[in-house]
Amino acid sequence: MVKEYDVIVIGGGPAGATAAGLLAKAGRHVLVLEKEKFPRYHIGESLVPGVMPVLEELGAREKVESQLFLRKYGTTLRWGAERELWTIHFAEAGPWEYAFEVKRAEFDNTLLNHARELGATVVEEAAVSEVLFDGARAAGVRYTLGRRGSAVDVRARYVLDASGQSKFLAHRESLLEWHEDLRNIAVWTYYQGGEFFPGKDRGNILTEYHGDGWVWVIPFADGTRSVGFVGPSDLYAETGLGPEEFFQSRLKVSTEARRLLDGAVRVADYRVTKDWSYAAKTFTGPGFLLAGDAAAFVDPLFSTGVMLAMKGASAAARTVDRILDAPEREDDHQQHYEDTYRDFFGTVVSFVRYFYDARRKRTDYWERAQELIDPVRELETRADFIRLVSGLADGLAVMDVDGGAPAPAGANDS
Ligand SMILES: Cc1cc2nc3c(=O)[nH]c(=O)nc-3n(C[C@H](O)[C@H](O)[C@H](O)COP(=O)(O)OP(=O)(O)OC[C@H]3O[C@@H](n4cnc5c(N)ncnc54)[C@H](O)[C@@H]3O)c2cc1C
């Protein structure tokens, strides 16, 4: 039995499971500590094609496909100066034609079990209460098993914080910086039945803007729908309404969402979350790295959260793998992770900010996408827009600090 691990991962969501799986695949002894018992509920149900290469890298794509999640071939929007609906299809910008609409309980459980199969040790209902430091260097964690368990200390050469919006290390190390201009609130619930987009578009998410915010409608394979409203936190506070009255008042002014929900029945309570856009001042420190929402989170406008979590975790896994091989180069490898992830994340944030001005023309959004990800104008502007919102813009292809393209984690395994 391993007494000291190579890596301890805090949290078993998409970021934690991805990093743990890839590090285990690379032959590292990995311990994942997850405070919940999986499967557990989570928001963040509409995926973008940017998750597909990471599922391939993990060798988990077939498992996810076999879960019969609804395939999402595109996105339907009512957004911008022109008020009619418009639809984009991921295939227009290839190479991944679709992603999935997922119940996160099932999706996350599949990924976490996959990490186990790749060799990671996963302990559920294990809440990390402290990161242990040797001087300034992270050297392990303290956790409690179950509700009444006693504290257990476990050591590792590296600690990866993938604790999601708990932001475990960012809180403790005072690293948080909020995006004040994106202080939004979301109120959501679930419906059964109603109308669906026809044919291949059945799995599209609807994103519909209405003056003071926007509504999402995400269909699932079982005929249920996740329906939410996102708008400024202040607006919610000012109305003085409770979640139900507030949500229904916003739904009432939508047109397409209401049409899709015609005849549908609400099947769940309302949920509320607010104040979520932020980035940690640094994603790294001696002996530790932050990944996924634990590092940074941007408004869910383009459904990029799970993609950022998984792509970022893949980059984090490679970074840690290299540092364990060459600890004397920790600073270089960390700096590279920091720069690459901040750049990629920054592109998404910048585009979300631009897109939130819903008075612009559709072509303005496309042109802005091109400016951000394709300055040499290799593709048409519309294709660049699709590539960006698919999470397929270049940016997280982690290169060696020496400049050469790295072998994927695990590529040297015999
Ligand atoms: C309103 C809203 C809508 C969203 N919609 C979408 C969407 O449509 N598509 C999309 O891709 N994303 C969406 N997101 C974002 C998405 O939910 C997240 O980006 C994604 O879940 C991040 O994955 P993660 O692994 O970093 O964190 P998480 O999925 O949150 O996983 C973190 C895990 O760490 C565990 N943990 C926390 N603290 C501890 C501790 N101390 N010890 C042990 N374990 C711990 C938690 O239990 C959890 O399981 C949305 C977010 C919000 C707020």
Annotate 114-163 with DSSP letters as a single string: HHHHTT-EEEESEEEEEEEEETTEEEEEEEEETTTPPEEEEEEEEEEE--
Q: How many angstroms separate the CA atoms of 108 and 293, rounded?
A: 15
Specify whether 36 is located in the same domain as 159: yes
In a domain, 168, yes or no: yes
Q: Are 97 and 133 in contact (CB under 8 A)?
A: no
Q: What is the DSSP letter of 357?
A: -
Phi-psi category of 69—alpha, beta or left, where left has phi over 0 and alpha has psi -120 to 50? beta
What are the CA-CA distances from residue 350 to residues 63, 141, 164, 193, 381 (Å)?
34, 35, 22, 36, 17
Q: How many separate domains does the chain show? A: 2
Domain's final residue, options 358, 376, 403? 358
Q: How far is the CA of 70 from the centre of ligand 1 (A)?
A: 20
What tens digit of pLDDT does each residue of 17-47 get? Answer: 999 999 999 999 999 999 999 999 999 999 9
The answer on pLDDT for 308 being more than 80 is: yes
Distance 183 CA to ligand 1 centre (A): 18
94 confidence band (pLDDT: 50, 70, 90)? confident
Q: What is the mean pLDDT of residues 208-219?
A: 95
| pLDDT above 70: percentage of residues in the chain | 94
Best of 160, 163, 214, 297 to mutate for ligand 1, by most ligand atoms within 8 A of CB?
A: 163
pLDDT single digits (tens) 370-382 = 999 999 999 999 9
- 104: tokens are 């996160």
Quick one: 57 and 154 in the same domain? Answer: yes
Residues 111, 39 within the same domain: yes
Q: Taking the model in full, what pTM does it have?
A: 0.95
217 in the same domain as 314? no
Last residue of some domain: 312, 341, 358? 358
Condensed to tens digits (0 to 9), the pLDDT of residues 259-279 reads 999 999 999 999 999 867 899
pLDDT confidence tier of residue 100, bands split at 50, 70 and 90: very high
- Residues 301-308 have a mean pLDDT of 96
Within 6 A (CB) of ligand 1 lie 10-16, 33-36, 42-47, 127-128, 162-166, 168, 186, 273, 276, 292-294, 297, 300, 303-307, 309
Residue numbers of the domain that contains 63: 4-67+102-178+278-358
Q: Which of 43, 217, 250 to mutate to test the pocket of ligand 1 (most atoms within 8 A of CB)?
A: 43
The pLDDT value recorded for residue 403 is 44
State the CATH number of the domain containing residue 263. 3.30.9.100
**Domain-located, residue 77:** no
Question: In this model, does residue 320 exceed pLDDT 50?
Answer: yes
User: 378-400, pLDDT tens digit by residue?
Assistant: 999 999 999 999 998 876 654 44
User: Per-residue pLDDT for 2 more than 80?
Assistant: no
Length reported for the chain = 414
On the question of pLDDT at 3 being above 90, the answer is no
In a domain, 244, yes or no: yes
Tell whether 369 is covered by a domain. no
Q: Are 115 and 28 within one domain? A: yes
How far away, in angstroms, is 292 Cα from ligand 1 center?
Answer: 8
Q: Answer with the residue of higher pLDDT: 174 or 23.
A: 23
Both 107 and 36 in one domain: the answer is yes
Q: Is 412 part of any domain?
A: no
Q: For position 124, which CATH number holds?
A: 3.50.50.60
Same domain, 134 and 260: no
pLDDT at 313 over 60: yes
Distance 12 CA to ligand 1 centre (A): 10
pLDDT at res. 394: 74
34-89 pLDDT tens trace: 999 999 999 999 999 999 999 999 999 999 999 989 999 999 999 999 999 999 99
What pLDDT band is residue 180 in, cutting at 50, 70 and 90?
confident
100: its two tokens: 């999935």
What residue owns the CA closest to ligand 1's atom 49? 13
Q: Which atom of ligand 1 is nearest to the CA of 306?
A: 11
